[in-house]
């Protein structure tokens, strides 16, 4: 308990006045009367005995002094400290509003509501002179209230915070909080989330409250990818990744129901281990703009937002590729593989020699077969076959004599380039060695050298094949080679550009849009539609569901976050600092209201004791 | 307020100029009463004295001996002669001598004694018998009745020697006051009528109904008693009971006190009216002459000299 304005305490000296008045008060006047009978009929309090009168006089003096003291305490701004942390000049409240804060406890209270409730109580205990800033964060942090001492405004901002179906990024938010805290030190950061930060950095005091539930089970869809099936019409390959949170107490059996256009298509049952992630691949039939719906169900699932994904099926535009060879003699196997892709209607091919480079027409991908341009083509995915001596993003050295290999060793079996490609019966001829200056990952090894690699170089995907199909023994004649070529092209080409407008976004991403309005069809808790104006070239994907602009642009937005699906459970010792946020001391904070209430009570008591029969 | 009573001087009690004016007035009874004693006082009734008063037409109920035959001879109509009736009756003057009549306001004592002397003087001038009584805790033995103007000095001595103090026991005193029918007349009770409780006076007045005569209650009070000029913390001392009482006297209390006192006076007045007793309030700050004449005229105890 201390006084913020102790300079006003000298006013307590005014208490001398009532004491002196009491000590030198005029003695009661003695009056001789003919009879007392009329005075005896007056109010009963006048019939009091002398000791009661004395007691009342003492009481009156005590109440007068108490009133004076209470009034001076109000002026001196008497406060009770919740703890030493309240001595900061600034408190930055960092509140997690990411999707996982929507998890409800057994009383139906979400984590965010619980955080707001606790904060609301705790903020009333903070002295008025401490400035408080409010930052809410999901993927981005938003300063909802810069440092202020106006509690009403702050609480209003706090009440307006709602959960957004977006994954949280506390690292970016803590950076924002540090910046605000640095404006008016000393400062502290309060962090309320279902995940603890541990340290705010820069020596800033951090008080955290972990709002995660003690035991929580959640299985969710963490990734979805869709692509047209090579060589086939109106068929799509769907990749779905499903995960169970690490803190789930036991394995969980889940069911994934797939429906297209409202008609159930497939049902898969999955047994998930805590913390495990499983990828499912299946093929669906559907036409453009039909709605694909993936619904996951598991017993005790506490977090519905990641259990459903809906998206309109995209239109698959044919891939336009250029095949550049140094001479006219085409490798028949490569031509056969590319021709088979062309027949499926999903691939169009331009052929040419090095003299045609650079190309006058924009293509989706380039196939460099035994030749590479002097300057690497920026912004274009590439398939490099049988590379010559080269020093660029790919450093290659061609062998003087090709080296045949009876088999290959698989580097990354699950890579999409190897999807449905058999690696077991491959015999090929290595024509050189290469080294990529990027993130190329070897998929096949022949001997100790990689002969098939895929990755990104300069921001574009490339696939490098260090062998010649024409010289190889078994590979060109198997069905795997056309599939490999198709996979390489589909993987390398920018799917976003090919897929037209129907793109699946992670919530929180920015989607480029055109038009004046965007209409959301939100999923979860029934279907809700909302039409909003478009104010810029991009729209933040801050909802879950399918959207469409008035120009016909369509897309979908879903959580698809491994971090959010991996709901943490609050274990022992992971509560944060609950004692700090507890408001057991109801008198903590500024006592002005309590003191004023006490003044009113004393006045009422005095009025009742001494003046209730008075006539004014 | 004076703290101690003091004996009044003759001059204070005997205002010669005022009393001289009273010589033209006489006390009289409201109702005709057949009294044994004939005195100098004439009455509204007709009697058998030799003083002619008036003529009136004869009616069969009249005494035929009163017919004036000479008028009959002259006017041929029967008239009877009416004569003055002159009566002598008792004037009882009861003076409250309790402590409340002298403390803390000696004006009450002086007023009551002046009033008693004036009334006694009127009685003596009218050749009535005058009896003076003092009441306090009990009825004091009265001196013998006085008659004639020569007794005025005795009246003054009696008034001056009255001892004030002690309690008031109105009920006992009024019960003990029994003048007897032979002493029928006018009874004046001069008191503040403060008893041990607020209803004692009303109870005591009931006993006055049995008194032989026409009764006049004169309630004497000081203006302070009607409107006490005091406020704040006070310690009250009852001069009769010697009881102390502390209280915080607020304006609201004063308002209630005045209301209660006024109610007390009204109750006394109503009680007197119900028993055909004349009642007069006598505030000591009012002019004595006006109140005295009002007393006599309102109670019809006053008659002019014919």
CATH number reported for the structural domain that contains residue B210 in this entry: 3.40.50.410
User: Do A38 and B239 lie within an 8 Å CB cutoff?
Assistant: no
- Same domain, yes or no, for B112 and B239? yes
Do A348 and A430 lie in one domain? The reply is yes
Pair B118, B220 in one domain: yes
Please count the residues of chain B. Answer: 306
A450 and A577 housed in the same domain: no
Could you give the number of structural domains in chain B? 2
B5 pLDDT more than 50: no
The total number of structural domains that make up chain A? 4
pLDDT digits (tens, 9 = 90+) for A20-35: 888 876 677 889 999 9
Q: Do B232 and A29 touch (CB under 8 A)?
A: yes
pLDDT digits (tens, 9 = 90+) for B154-170: 888 888 888 888 888 88
What's the pLDDT at B93? 92
pLDDT at B299 over 60: no
- Split at pLDDT 50, 70, 90, the class of A436 is low
Q: Is residue A45 classed as helix, strand or coil in its secondary structure?
A: helix
Q: Are A32 and B239 in contact (CB under 8 A)?
A: yes
Confirm whether A186 is domain-assigned: yes
Q: Is the residue at A427 inside a domain?
A: yes
Q: Which residues, in sequence order, are CB contacts of B273 under 8 Å at separation 6+?
A: B279
Give the Cα-Cα-Cα angle A5, A10, A12 (nearest 5 degrees): 105
Measure in Å the smallest separation between the Cα of B97 and chain A Cα atoms: 13
List of residues 6+ apart from A83 with CB closer than 8 A:
A580
Looking at the complex, does the CB of residue A28 fall below 8 Å from at least one CB of chain B? yes
Question: By the 8 A CB rule, do B186 and B91 touch?
Answer: yes
Residue A20 is assigned to a structural domain of this protein: yes
> Does residue A391 share a domain with residue A490?
yes
Distance CA A281, CA A220 (A): 16
3-state SS assignment for residue A165: coil
Pair B164, B48 in one domain: no
Last residue of a domain, one of B52, B87, B122: B87
Task: Say whether both B158 and B217 belong to one domain.
Answer: yes
Kindly list the residues from chain A whose CB atom is less than 8 angstroms away from the CB atom of residue B230.
Answer: 29, 31
Residue B70 domain flag: yes
Residue B96 near residue B58, CB atoms below 8 Å: no
Mean pLDDT of A59-76: 87
What confidence category does residue A583 fall into, taking pLDDT thresholds of 50, 70 and 90?
low
Judged on CB neighbours under 10 Å (0-12, 13-18, 19+), A178 is middle
**A208 shares a domain with A123:** yes
* Percent of chain B predicted with pLDDT > 70: 82
More confident: A250 or A475: A250
Mean pLDDT of chain B: 81
Left if phi > 0, otherwise alpha if psi is -120 to 50, otherwise beta: which for A307? alpha
- B257 with A42: Cβ contact below 8 A: yes
In a domain, A306, yes or no: no
Indicate if A152 and A173 belong to the same structural domain.
yes
CA distance A103 to A100: 6
Q: Which residues of B touch A28 (CB under 8 A)?
A: 232-235, 246
> Residue A430 burial by CB count (10 A; 0-12/13-18/19+): exposed, middle or buried?
buried
ipTM of the prediction: 0.80
Q: Indicate if A35 and A180 belong to the same structural domain.
A: no
Q: With an 8 Å Cβ cutoff, are B235 and A35 in contact? A: no
Q: Inter-chain contact A28–B195, Cβ cutoff 8 Å?
A: no
Question: Residue A386 region, left (φ>0) first, then alpha (ψ -120 to 50), else beta?
Answer: left
User: Please, which pLDDT band fits residue A585 given cuts at 50, 70 and 90?
Assistant: low
Same domain, B128 and B192: yes
A335 found inside a domain: yes
- Examine residue A488 and state whether it is found in any structural domain, yes or no: yes
> Looking at the predicted structure, is the pLDDT value of residue B240 above 50?
yes
Residues A432 and A407 in one domain: yes
* Nearest residue on chain B to A50, alpha-carbon basis: B246
Cα separation, B266 vs B22, whole angstroms: 30
Mutation target among A26, A38, A54 for the B interface, most CBs of B within 10 A: A38
Band of pLDDT at residue A419, cut at 50, 70 and 90:
confident
Q: Residue A552: pLDDT band by 50, 70, 90 thresholds?
A: confident
Domain with B71 in it: 41-87
- Domain membership flag for residue B216: yes
Question: B226 to chain A: nearest residue by CA?
Answer: A38
B252–A34 C-beta distance less than 8 A: no
* Domain identity same for B20 and B161: yes
pLDDT, position A135: 93
Q: Which tokens in the block code for residue B194? A: 């403060």
Give the Cα separation of A456 and A445 in Å (integer): 19
A337-361 average pLDDT score: 82
Residue B2 lies in a domain: no
Residues B48, B133 within the same domain: no
Evaluate if residue B34 carries a pLDDT over 80: no
Do A349 and A326 belong together in one domain?
yes
Do A436 and A483 have their domain in common?
A: yes
Which residue does chain A place closest to B256, by CA atoms? A42
Q: Chain A residues with CB inside 8 Å of B252's CB?
A: 613-616
For an interface test with B, which of A27, A31, A611 has the most B Cβ atoms less than 10 Å from its Cβ? A31
| Domain of residue A358, CATH code | 3.40.50.880
User: What confidence score (pLDDT) does residue B185 get?
Assistant: 84
- Residues A126-158 as b or e (16 or more Cβ within 10 Å = b): bbeebbbbbbbbbbebebbbebeeebeebbebb
**Residue A525 burial by Cβ neighbours in a 10 Å radius (0-12, 13-18, 19+):** exposed
User: Both A324 and A415 in a single domain?
Assistant: yes
* Distance, CA of A140 to CA of A282 (rounded, Å): 34
Among the partner residues A32, A39, A614, nearest to B252 by beta-carbon distance:
A614
Q: Is B198 in contact with A41 (Cβ distance < 8 A)?
A: yes
Say whether both A440 and A514 belong to one domain.
no
Residues in Cβ contact with A534 at an 8 Å cutoff, skipping those fewer than 6 apart: A513, A514, A515, A516, A517, A518, A549
- Taking CB atoms and an 8 Å limit, are B250 and A36 in contact across chains? no
* Cβ-contact A563, A246 below 8 angstroms: no
Does B112 lie in the same domain as B65? no
pLDDT of residue B266 exceeding 60: yes
Q: What is the pLDDT of residue B175?
A: 87
Q: What is the pLDDT of residues A210-227, one digit of tens each?
A: 888 888 889 999 998 887
> Range of A417's domain?
319-497
Question: What three-state secondary structure class fits B265?
Answer: helix
Distance from CA of A61 to the nearest CA of B (A): 16
Q: Tell whether B3 is covered by a domain.
A: no
User: Average pLDDT of A381-409?
Assistant: 88
The DSSP annotation for A545-610 comes to EEEEETTS-EEEEE---HHHHS-----TT-SBSHHHH----TT-EE-HHHHHHHHHHHHHHHHHHH
Cross-chain Cβ contact A42/B197 below 8 Å: no
Q: What is the mean pLDDT of residues A453-480?
A: 83
Answer yes or no: is B53 within a domain.
yes
pLDDT at B142 over 70: yes
Contact A70, A594 (CB under 8 A): no
Decide which of A244 and A52 is more confident. A244
Report, as an integer, the average pLDDT of B249-254.
83
- Please check whether residue B104 is in contact with residue A32, taking contact to mean a CB–CB distance below 8 angstroms: yes
Cβ–Cβ gap B253/A33 under 8 Å: no
Is A114 in the same domain as A127? yes
Strand positions, DSSP E, A354-448 = 365-369, 382-385, 390-391, 394-405, 409-410, 428-436, 441-446
Q: Are residues B78 and B94 in the same domain?
A: no
Q: What pLDDT score was predicted for residue B225?
A: 93
Flag if B194 and A616 touch (Cβ within 8 Å): no
DSSP state of A229: P
Give the residue-averaged pLDDT of A474-497.
78
Does one domain contain both B120 and B266? yes
């Amino acid at each position: 308990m201390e006084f913020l304005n102790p300079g006003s305490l000298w006013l307590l000296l005014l208490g001398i006045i009532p004491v002196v008045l009491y000590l030198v008060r005029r003695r009661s006047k003695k009056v001789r009367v003919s009879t007392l009978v009329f005075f005896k009929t007056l109010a009963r309090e006048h019939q009091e005995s002398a000791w009661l009168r004395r007691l009342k006089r003492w009481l009156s003096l005590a109440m007068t002094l108490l009133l004076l003291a209470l009034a001076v305490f109000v002026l001196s701004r008497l406060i009770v400290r919740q703890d030493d942390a309240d001595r900061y000049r600034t408190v930055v409240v960092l509140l997690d509003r990411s999707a996982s804060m929507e998890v409800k406890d057994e009383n139906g209270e979400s984590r965010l509501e619980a955080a707001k409730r606790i904060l609301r109580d705790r903020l009333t205990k903070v002295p008025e002179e401490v400035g408080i800033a409010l930052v809410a964060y999901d993927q981005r942090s938003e300063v909802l209230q810069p440092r202020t001492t106006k509690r009403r405004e702050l609480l209003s901002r706090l009440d307006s915070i709602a959960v957004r179906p977006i994954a949280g990024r506390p690292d970016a938010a803590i950076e924002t909080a540090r910046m605000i805290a640095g404006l008016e030190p000393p400062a502290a950061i309060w962090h309320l989330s279902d995940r603890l930060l541990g340290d705010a950095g820069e020596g800033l005091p951090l008080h955290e409250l972990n709002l995660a539930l003690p035991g929580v089970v959640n299985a969710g869809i963490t990734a979805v990818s869709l692509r047209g099936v090579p060589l086939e019409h109106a068929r799509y390959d769907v990749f779905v990744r499903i995960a169970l949170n690490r803190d789930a107490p036991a394995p969980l059996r889940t069911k994934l129901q797939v429906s297209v256009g409202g008609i159930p298509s497939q049902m898969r049952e999955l047994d998930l281990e805590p913390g495990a992630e499983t990828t499912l691949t299946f093929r669906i039939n559907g036409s453009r703009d039909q709605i694909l719906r993936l619904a996951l169900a598991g017993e005790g699932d506490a977090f519905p937002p990641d259990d459903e994904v809906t998206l309109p099926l995209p239109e698959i535009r044919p891939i336009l590729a250029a095949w550049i060879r140094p001479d006219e003699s085409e490798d028949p196997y490569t031509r056969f593989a590319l021709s088979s892709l062309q027949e499926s209607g999903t691939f169009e091919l331009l052929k040419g020699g090095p003299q045609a480079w650079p190309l006058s027409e924009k293509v989706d991908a380039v196939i460099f077969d035994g030749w590479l341009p002097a300057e690497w083509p920026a912004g274009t995915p590439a398939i490099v076959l049988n590379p010559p001596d080269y020093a660029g993003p790919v450093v290659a050295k061609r062998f003087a004599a090709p080296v045949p290999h009876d088999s290959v060793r698989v580097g990354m079996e699950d890579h999409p380039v190897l999807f449905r490609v058999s690696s077991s019966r491959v015999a090929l001829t290595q024509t050189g060695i290469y080294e990529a200056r990027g993130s190329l990952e070897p998929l096949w090894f022949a001997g100790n050298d990689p002969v098939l690699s895929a990755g990104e170089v300069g921001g574009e995907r490339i696939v490098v094949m260090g062998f010649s199909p024409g010289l190889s023994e078994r590979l060109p004649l198997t069905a795997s080679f056309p599939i490999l070529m198709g996979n390489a092209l589909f993987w390398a080409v920018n799917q976003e550009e090919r897929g037209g407008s129907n793109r699946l976004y992670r919530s929180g991403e920015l989607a480029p849009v055109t038009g004046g309005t965007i209409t959301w069809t939100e999923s979860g808790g029934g279907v809700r539609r909302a039409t909003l104006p478009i104010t810029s070239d991009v729209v933040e994907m801050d909802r879950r569901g399918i959207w469409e602009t008035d120009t016909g642009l369509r897309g979908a937005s879903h959580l698809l976050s491994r971090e959010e699906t991996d709901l943490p459970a609050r274990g022992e010792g992971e509560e944060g600092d609950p004692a700090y946020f507890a408001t057991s001391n109801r008198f903590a904070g500024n006592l002005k209201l309590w003191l004023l209430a006490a003044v009113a009570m004393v006045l009422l008591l005095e009025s009742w004791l001494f003046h209730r029969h008075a006539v004014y | 307020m004076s703290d101690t009573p003091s004996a009044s001087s003759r001059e204070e009690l005997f205002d010669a100029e005022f009393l001289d004016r009273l010589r033209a007035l006489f006390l009289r009874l409201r109702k005709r009463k057949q009294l044994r004693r004939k005195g100098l006082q004439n009455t509204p009734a007709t009697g058998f004295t030799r003083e002619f008063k008036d003529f009136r037409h004869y009616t069969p109920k009249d005494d035929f001996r009163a017919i004036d035959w000479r008028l009959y001879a002259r006017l041929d109509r029967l008239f009877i002669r009416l004569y003055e009736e002159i009566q002598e009756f008792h004037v009882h003057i009861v003076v409250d001598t309790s402590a409340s009549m002298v403390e803390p306001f000696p004006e009450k004592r002086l007023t009551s004694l002046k009033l008693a002397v004036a009334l006694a003087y009127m009685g003596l001038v009218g050749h009535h018998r005058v009896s003076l009584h003092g009441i306090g805790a009990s009825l004091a033995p009265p001196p013998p009745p006085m008659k004639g103007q020569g007794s005025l000095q005795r009246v003054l001595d009696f008034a001056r020697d009255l001892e004030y103090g002690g309690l008031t026991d109105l009920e006992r005193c009024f019960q003990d006051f029994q003048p007897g029918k032979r002493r029928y007349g006018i009874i004046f009770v001069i008191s503040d009528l403060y008893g041990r409780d607020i209803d004692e006076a009303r109870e005591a007045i009931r006993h006055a109904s049995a008194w032989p005569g026409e009764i006049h209650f004169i309630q004497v009070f000081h203006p302070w008693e009607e409107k006490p000029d005091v406020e704040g913390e006070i310690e009250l001392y009852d001069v009769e009971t010697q009881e102390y009482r502390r209280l915080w006297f607020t304006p609201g209390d004063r308002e209630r006190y005045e209301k209660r006192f006024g109610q007390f006076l009204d109750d006394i007045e109503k009680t007197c009216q119900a028993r055909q007793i004349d009642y007069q309030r006598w505030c000591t700050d009012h002019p004595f002459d006006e109140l005295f004449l009002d007393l006599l005229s309102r109670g019809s105890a006053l008659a002019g000299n014919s």
